[in-house]
Structure 1
Amino acid sequence: MADKIMAKARLLETLLPTPPRENLNTHFILGEIIDQIDLIRDDFPFVKIATLKEHLWDIRNKNVDPEIHLRGFLHVFKDTEVFRDAFNQLDEGIRLRIKAFMDGKSKKEVLDAGGKGVAGQLFMPPSPPVKHHFRKLAEGLKEGIEELLGHDHGAEKAEAPKKTVAEAAAGTQGNPRIFEDAAETKTMEVHANKGFCNWGRSVANTPEVTFGGVNGPVCHGAGRRHQTINDCVRAVEYVDANGLHRTISDPAHLGAAAGCFGLLGVVTHITFALDQMSYASMQPFKPDIGLAIPPLSRNDIPIALRKTFTDAQYAAGLADFKRRAQEDYKRGSNTWNATDDRERSVEYPSPFLTLIPCASWGNSNVIMAPQQGNTLGTASIEVISIPDAVTDNEWVPFLQRLADLWMGHGDAHGALLDVRPHWAREWESINMRGQPAWQYLKEYAYKDAIPEFKSTLASVGAGQGWGLTDIQERFSNELWDYMIYS
C-alpha cells in the first residue's frame, strides 16, 4: 500500500504544475485537494471520499462549524481498519460517548453516556498504551521488590537472600545479548530473558523521566522568572571513583556538581530547594494561530501563512505575548500562575503532546548549562516529527535548515545569539555555523566554560582523593572524552 501511495504521489507531481508561492494558502490548497482527491479513491475504498469533499468545501468557503466537521470526519474514516482498531482499544465508556457524538446526540447525552464518572462530566480513562505501559512497569517493580526483600512468610523470609542469589545466578543463563550501538561493541546489561524485564534498568533506557534524568542533562527549567532546575540543587550525593560515598553542598563546587553529566560518579541522591506548594490558576484560551507567537514584523510571515489582521489586533496580540513571556510562570499560549487559593481546585491531567514544544526560563549559574550567561532569559524550542520523516530522508536536511535559521538570529546590536543545543536532544547530525556540532560546542559555545568545569572538578577531587584521570576512566564516554578531556 505504501508503495502504491508513493507511486500515485509521483504521478500527481507530474500531472500537476508547481503552483506559485503566493497561491500556497488554505483556500488554494483545499481547492487542489477537492479537485484531485478522486485520483486516489480506489486506493482508499473504505474512506467516504464524497463526504470528505463536502466538508472540505464548507471549510474552504469558511462555512465552519467545528462540531459538525469533527463528527463528519469521524464518519469519513469509521469504516477503515485503522479507525476500527483504534476505536476497539478504547475504554467502553469512551466508545459509547464517541458513538453518541457521532450519532448527533446533545452535549448532555454525550457526557452521560458510558455510565462512569460524574453525570454531565467527561471521564477520560488512561489510553490502552498507557495502561499496558504501567501494568508492565508495575509487574517489573513488584518482581524487583520481591527479589530485594523476599517473601514475608516466616521461615521463607530467612532464606530469602540465599534464594534470591541462587535465582539471580540461574536467571542469567540463556539471556539475550543486547547491544547499545550499531557496531555491536557496547553490550547492554541484561537482567532476564523476559519482555520489559530489562526495560529501564540500563543507563541508555529509562522508563520515565526521573529527577536524576531531568537534572543530568543540565537543560530544564520552568518560566523566565526562574533559573534552571540545576540551580535549585543544594546537595549532590554520589559514589566517587574510589567507591566512596560523597556529598557536595559547597556552592563553589555545586556549579559543576549540580550539572556534571554523571562525570563525578554514580549520583545517588539530589537535594532540591523547592517553591512552597501552591495551585495553578489555569485560564486556557485558543488564540488565532497567527497571533499565538506574533512576529516582530508581519513581513516575516511566509506569504502562504499571512492573514489580514487589523493594527489593533496585531498590537494586542504582541502585547499579550510579551506579558506572558515576562510575567507568567511558564511561557506559551496556555500559561498559568501560582496561587494559594484552593477554591475550585481540580486534578489537572497530563497535557497532550504538541508538535513544537517551546519553553522559557532565566539564566543559570551552572557552568555547563546551555542557559549559562543568558541574563535576559532563555527560550528553548524544539521540533518533533514522525518516523516517516526519517525513513523518507527528509528529517536531517530539515533539521539543518531549521538550525541555520535559528542560529542566524542576532541581538539588538547585530551580534549572533549564543545558541546552544539541549544536551539530551538530537543535535549531533547537524552543522552549527559551518562547523560540526561537537567542534562548535567545544571550540565556541563552551570554550570558556569547559576549563572552568574541569578546574572545579579537579578542586573537588583534590579534597576527595581522586583526579580527573580517575573519573574519566570510570565515568566518561566518547562525547565527554572529546568535549572535556581532550
Structure 2
Amino acid sequence: MIGGFSMSAGDAGWRDRIARDAAALGLSGALQRHIHTLLADHRDTHPRERLRDLLIWGGFDESDKDPHGEVPEPAAVTPESDQLDDVREADGKPMRVWWHRPFRNWGGTVENTPLVTVYPRSKTGLCELVKWAAGHGLTVRASGYRHSWTDGYAEPGNVLVSMIAPDVATARPAVHPGIDPADALQGIEIVGRDGRQALCRIGTATTNEQFRQWALTSGQGNREWTVPLNTIIVEVTFGGTNATTCHGAGWKNRTLNDLVTEVEFVNARGELQVVSDRATLIAAAGCFGLLGIVTALTLRLDPMSYAVMQPEKRPLMLGVPPLPGAVLPPDIDQRKVTDAEVNEAIKRFEWQCENAYYSEWFWFAEQSECWVNCWQNDGHPADSVDYPSPIDVILQETSEYIAEIADQHAFRHLPGRVQAKILGGLAMASRPSGTTVVTPLIDALHFLRGVHNMPVRDMELEIPIPCRPDDPSRPDWSVCRRAWWDALRIIHDSPDVPLRLTLEMRVTGGSDVLLAPQYGNNFGTCSIEVLTTTVVPAEQWNRFLQRVADAWTSYQDQDGRTLNVRPHWGKQWQGLSLHGRPVVEYLRDEACRAQLVGLRAGLAAIAGQGGYSLADLRARFTNPLLRELFRDVLADE
C-alpha cells in the first residue's frame, strides 16, 4: 500500500514530507491545513483519535470526505431502532440493534440491507439471538471489519452480527479501542501450556491490534508470547481471519487455522458448543461460519522472538529473476544486468524461499525495482526497538488516508497510468532499503499500519509448489518466478492500466485444515495477489483478474498434471471462470471435491454431538453463495 516505514523517530523532516505529499496529491487547502495542525504536535498521546477528529469533523471541504466511510451512529437513537426486546444480553438488557441499516464491505464489492444488524456483548445474547432467528426463519452471519471481498456476509433481509461496533468497523481513519472487559466476545487469556508453547484463548471479536498491544504490554502479555504468523493488517478480528483461513508468510509457516486447538461457537440450537479433538478441528477451524457464530478460539502461541528486518530494493530482473526464455515486457531493460548477476539472483531467491522465516516480494505499479521483505527471526531482545515507532505509525496511517482521499477525488480525473505512476512512486519511495531493524516478532508481522484507511480491490491465488524435476524431494521454486513474471507481462500488456497499486507474493507452507487453499501443498504454496484502487471500474478490473487467473491456473507439475490452484477465500474470486467453468462449480466439483467430502463428515460429527443436523446448519448459517458452494456438504443426510 502507500504508507512507508523508513522514517525514524529522530527524523525532523517527516512532518514536512507528509505535508508536501498532501499538496502534491491535489488535496484542498482546508484539508492541508488540518493535516498540518495534526503533524505540528506529534507528541499527542492519542494520535488516531486526533487524526479522526481533524480529518472527519475538522470542517474541510465536503468534497474531501471519504465516500466509502459511514457516519458514526448518533449518541442518542430512538428505542425502537436500537434494541431488540426479545433478545437479552447476559445482564438482562435488550441487545443493541439497527433495523434495515445498509451494509457495505470494506472493498466495496458487497452491498445489501440486512433486516437487522446486531452488536452483541455476551455469549448469552448470541445464544438468544440464534434462537430468535430460528423462530422467525432467518439466517445469521457474522462480520468484523468487513475485509472479505467475497460475499460471506448476511443474506439481505436476514440477520448480520457485527462482532465489533459498526462505527468502529467502518471508521476511516481507523480507530483502535482497547479490549472492553465488559465485552465477553473480546479478551485474551493464557489457559495452559503444551511443551514450549502456550495455549491462548482469544475472543473472536478481539482485533490484531488489541492482541499486538497485549503481547507487548507489561502486566499483560509481558513480551512473553506471540503468534508465530499473522496477516499484515491490524484492523481485522481473530474470528474473521479464522473463518476465511488466512495466513502470513514463510515456507515453514502454515495458516492461522493450523494454530487452533479449540473452537467455541453458538450452534444451530442456540447453545454454546466446543470442538477440540483434532479429527473434527480440521473441519471446524476455518469453515466460513457454517457451524454457527464463533465466540472464542484457543491458539498455540510461541515464546516471544525478535525479527531481524533487512528490507531491500532490487532491480526487477534480480529481485524475482525471470525464467530462461520468458517473454518479458518490452519496457524492462535487460541490459542493466549480466547473466552472472541473474544466476546469483536465482540462488538468492531460492535461498530466501527455503530459509527466510518471513519471505515477501512487492512490485509497485510502474516501478523499475521491486521491494524484497525477507528476514530471519533470530534477533536479540537487547537490540530490539518498537517498530514502527509511534511517529512512523502516524506517518503510515496518515499517508494511507491522504492517498485514499486523493484517489477518490483528485486522482480519479487523471489517466490510469498517471494514477499508477504517482501511487507506485510514492509507495516505493517510502519503503526502506539497506537498513537493519531488530523488533519483536509481533511488530515485524504488522510492519505496515493504516491499511484500513485505504480500501482496495484484491485477488489472491494459492499456487501449490511442485517438486523439482531433477530432485523430487525438493520444491521447484520456478513456479513462483513464472507466476510473478506472467502477472507483470499481463499488467504491462493492459493499456487501460487496471493494476494501480501492487503485485505481492509470499511463500507459505501447506495446511492440515480442510478448507485452507494450502491444504495438501506438501512442498509449500506460492501466495500471489494483485491489488488496485477502488476507482478502477469493476468491469475493467474483473477482465484483468480473469487474464491473471487464466495464467496462474495453467501451470503443471513435472508429470503434466495441472496444479490444484485455489483462491484465498476472503479475496476476490466470485464471477471468475477457472478452466472454462464458473468458479463456484469448479471449486465445488473439482478443486475442493475431496476436502468437501471430509468437511461434510466433520460437520456431521460435530452436529451429531450437538443434537442438530446439517439441514439445521443450512437453514441457520448460510447465504446464497454458501448454499451453492457447499450444496453437497449440507445436503440432507
Common fold: TM-score over 0.5:
yes
CA distance in 1: counterparts of 2:247 and 2:254, whole angstroms = 9
CA distance in 2, matches of 1:232, 1:199: 20
Distance 1:478 1:239 in 2: 21
Q: How far apart are the structure 2 equivalents of 1:325 and 1:134?
A: 43
Structure 1 position 185, deviation (Å): 6.7
**CA deviation profile, 1:304-328 (whole Å, cap 9, x unmatched):** 2242210121112211111111111
Pick from 166, 170, 187: which aligns with 2:115? 187
Greater displacement, 74-83 / 378-387: 74-83
Percent identity for Structure 1 against Structure 2:
32
TM-score, with normalisation over the residues of structure 2? 0.50
TM-score relative to the length of structure 1:
0.65
Indicate yes or no: 2:106 matched with 1:178: no
1:86-137 deviation per Cα after TM superposition (whole angstroms, max 9, x unaligned): 533424485xxxxxxxxxxxxxxxxxxx6857xxxxx9x6697667799999
How has the CA–CA distance of structure 1 residues 386 and 127 changed in structure 2, closer, same or farther, with 3 Å as cutoff?
A: farther
Correspondence for 2:35:
90
1:413: Cα distance to partner? 3.0
Q: Structure 1, residues 301-359: CA drift from partner, whole Å, max 9, x if none?
A: 22222422101211122111111111112212112221251133111124266622322
Distance (whole Å) between structure 1 residues aligned to residue 596 and residue 630 of structure 2: 6
Partner of 2:387: 348
In structure 2, C-alpha distance between the alignment counterparts of 1:375 and 1:133, rounded to whole Å: 48
Q: Output the CA distance in 1 between the equivalents of 2:577 and 2:114.
A: 27
In structure 1, how many angstroms separate the alpha carbons of the residues matched to 2:243 and 2:259? 13
Q: What is the CA-CA distance between 1:289 and the residue it aligns to?
A: 2.7
User: Structure 2 residue aligned with 1:278, among 305, 313, 324?
Assistant: 305
- Alignment equivalent of 2:628, drawn from 474, 478, 482: 482
Whether 1:440 and 2:586 are equivalent positions in the alignment is: yes
Counterpart contact for 1:177–1:190, Cα < 8 Å: no
Name the structure 1 match of 2:536.
389
The offset of 1:377, in angstroms, is: 0.4
Specify the code of the residue in structure 1 equivalent to 2:115: T
2:609 corresponds to: 463
Do the aligned residues in 2 keep the contact of 1:179 with 1:188 (CA within 8 Å)?
no
1:367 corresponds to which letter in structure 2?
A: L
**Could you tell me how far 1:473 is from its partner in structure 2?**
1.1
> Structure 1 462/115 Cα, relative in aligned 2: closer, same or farther at 3 Å?
closer
Residue 521 of structure 2 corresponds to residue 407 of structure 1:
no
1:412 to 1:86, Cα distance in 2 relative to 1, 3 A: farther
Name the CA distance, whole Å, in 1 between partners of 2:55 and 2:267: 34
Using the alignment, how far apart are the partners of 2:259 and 2:527 within structure 1? 19
| 283-292 vs 435-444, which moves further | 283-292
2:351 is equivalent to residue 323 of structure 1:
yes
Structure 1, 202-211 or 376-385: larger mean CA deviation? 202-211
**Aligned-pair distance for 1:370?**
0.5
Separation (CA, whole Å) in 2 of partners of 1:267 and 1:228? 18
Structure scoring higher RCO (CA < 8 A, sep ≥ 6) equals: 2
What is the letter of the counterpart of residue 389 of structure 1? Answer: V
C-alpha separation between the residues in 1 aligned to 2:249 and 2:565? 19
Structure 1 position 396, deviation (Å)? 1.1
Q: Which amino acid aligns with 2:529?
A: E
Aligned partner of residue 88 in structure 1, secondary structure:
helix
The SS at the match of 1:322 is helix
CA distance change for structure 1 residues 446 and 461 in 2, over 3 Å: closer, same or farther?
same
Per-residue deviation, residues 190-245 of structure 1 (Å, max 9, x unmatched): 67xxxxxx996944796231111111101323311011111110111112111221
1:370 is aligned with what amino acid? P
Q: Which amino acid aligns with 1:384?
A: L
Q: Deviations over 1:391-440 (max 9, x none)?
A: 6x311111111111111122233322111011111111211110011111
Q: Distance in 2 between matches of 1:76 and 1:276?
A: 40
Structure 1 residue 387: Cα displacement: 2.4
| 1:423 match | 569
Say which SS state the counterpart of residue 356 (structure 1) adopts. Answer: strand
Does the Cα contact within 8 Å between 1:291 and 1:317 map onto a contact in 2?
A: yes
Query: Does the alignment pair 1:221 with 2:166?
Result: no
CA distance in 2, matches of 1:182, 1:340: 43
Q: Tell me which amino acid in the other structure corresponds to 1:471.
A: L
Distance 1:480 1:116, change over 3 A: closer
Q: What is the count of residue pairs matched by the alignment?
A: 362
SS for the counterpart of 1:339 is coil
Q: Distance in 2 between matches of 1:182 and 1:278?
A: 39
Relative to structure 1, is the Cα distance of residues 390 and 239 closer, same or farther in structure 2, using a 3 angstrom cutoff?
Answer: same
Instruction: Report the CA distance shift for 1:305/1:459 in structure 2 as closer, same or farther (over 3 A).
Output: same
Aligned equivalent of 1:146: none
**What is the rounded CA distance, in whole Å, between the counterparts of 2:22 and 2:274 in structure 1?**
59
Partner secondary structure for residue 303 of structure 1: coil
Cα distance in structure 2, aligned partners of 1:182 and 1:313: 46
RMSD: 4.0
1:209 aligned to 2:209? no
Selected match of 1:361 from 497, 502, 508: 508
| 1:377 matched residue in structure 2 | 524
C-alpha separation in 2, matches of 1:183 and 1:75: 36
CA contact (8 A) 1:179 1:187 kept: no
User: Cα deviations across residues 7-62 of structure 1 (Å, max 9, x unaligned)?
Assistant: xxxxxxxxxxxxxxxxxxxxxxxxxxxxxxxxxxxxxxxxxxxxxxxxxxxxxxxx
Query: 2 CA distance for matches of 1:305 and 1:415?
Result: 32
Distance 1:294 1:87, change over 3 A: farther
Which residue identity lines up with residue 88 of structure 1 in the other structure?
A: R
1:116–1:422 Cα change, 3 Å: closer
Relative to structure 1, the CA distance from residue 319 to residue 93 in structure 2 (aligned partners, 3 Å threshold; closer, same or farther) is farther
Higher deviation after alignment, 227-236 or 214-223 = 214-223
Query: What secondary structure does 2:307 align onto?
Result: strand
In 2, the alpha carbon distance for the partners of 1:347 and 1:86 equals 30
Unaligned runs of 5+ in 1: 1-70, 95-113, 118-122, 144-160, 192-197
Does the 8 Å contact 2:266/2:292 carry over to 1? yes
Distance 1:184 1:383, change over 3 A: closer
Cα 1:80–1:284 change in 2 (3 A) is: closer
Tell me how far apart the structure 1 counterparts of residues 324 and 252 of structure 2 sit (CA, whole Å).
26
Give the 3-state SS of the residue equivalent to 1:426 in structure 2. Answer: coil
Asked if 1:450 corresponds to 2:589, the answer is no
Task: Give SS of 1:312's match.
Answer: helix
* Structure 1 residue identity aligned to 2:382: E
Maintained 8 Å contact 1:278/1:339: yes
Match of 2:376 in 1: 337
Amino acid at match of 1:178: P
Contact 1:178 1:190 in 2 (8 A): no
The secondary structure found in structure 2 opposite 1:234 is strand
Letter in 1 for 2:341: Q
Secondary structure at the counterpart of residue 271 of structure 1: strand
Contact 2:509 2:524 in 1 (8 A): yes
Aligned-partner Cα distance in 2 for 1:368–1:336? 29
CA, structure 1 residues 78+367, in 2 after alignment: closer, same or farther (shift >3 Å)?
A: closer
Q: How does 1:92-107 map to 2 (within 5 A)?
A: 92=37, 94=39
Pick the structure with more strand per residue.
2
Q: 1:113-128 maps to which residues of 2 (within 5 A)?
A: none
Asked if 1 retains the 8 angstrom alpha-carbon contact of 2:265 and 2:273, the reply is: yes
Q: Is the 8 A contact 1:454 1:484 kept in 2?
A: no
Measure the CA separation in 1 of the matches of 2:592 and 2:271: 30
Opposite residue 256 of structure 1, the aligned amino acid is A
In structure 1, what is the Cα distance between the partners aligned to 2:102 and 2:353?
45
CA distance in 2, matches of 1:290, 1:324: 16
Indicate whether 1:254 and 2:281 are aligned.
yes
Match of 2:11 in 1: none
